[in-house]
Copies of this chain bind each other. A is one copy, B any other.
Amino acid sequence: MSGLEAADRRALAREQPAKSERWPRTERRQARIRSVLSRRQPDLTVVLENIHDPHNVSAILRSCDAVGVLRAHAVYTIEEPPPGAFARQTSASAAKWVDVLRHDSVAACYEALRADGFQVLVTSLGPESRSLYERDLTAPTALVLGNEMRGASPEASGLSDGAIEIPMMGMVQSLNVSVACAVCLYEAFRQRWHAGDYEASKLDASALLSLEEDWLRR
């Protein structure tokens, strides 16, 4: 939202630390970090499978931050990750606030997710896919987003627990991948908001403290 982009730049300008202090630990910044961490959803994540365009990676991580994804996942088996796309840069970069775990293969990624209790849903069109709005996204959910041109790989689809389809009423049968990701994540947000998932922290006290220390140093 463009108004927010302007507001963001102002917030960023305000947040610039004085040159003498490397990690400004103002009360206000600490309170903000604590508040954001208390709304993080450790049971909601995305898997970026060979996403090629750095602007798409950046927009996806921004949506992740906005709905409270704590940690995202990436599998780059066909191409290299876009240079710099996952680097923590300025406070305005969502990559600073959403850690991305890289996996060597789709199988290893899904195994790790399932060990943490996630259902793994691929965003794609197909006879077996179900509408986004029919899925229970309050359950621990990992959304797999495939490459811009090829879509999710056969392996990523085949090993998943199901497919999500965004209903499309128009002539053009596709959405930009970062747009599709945001539509899915905000439907998860909507369901979770109604379920009260943002009212109390899902992270336990020691995880909160440790993450707060970590974030204050970013």
Contact = CB atoms under 8 A, between A and B. Distances in A.
A58 to B, nearest CB: 8
B151 A5 contact: yes
Contacts of A151: 1-7
Contacts of A177: 1-2, 5
Contacts of A180: 1-2, 4
A126 B182 CA distance: 22
A150 interface: yes
A19 to B, nearest CB: 22
A203 interface: no
Contacts of A179: 59, 62-63, 178-179, 182
Contacts of A172: 8, 62, 65-66, 91-94, 97
Nearest to A146: B2
Interface in A138-174: 145-152, 166-174
Interface string A1-38: 11111111101000000000000000000001100100
Interface in A74-90: none
A166 B1 contact: yes
B3 A152 contact: yes
Contact of A1 (B33, B124, B190): B124
A187 B166 CA distance: 12
A63 B175 contact: yes
A68 B169 CA distance: 6
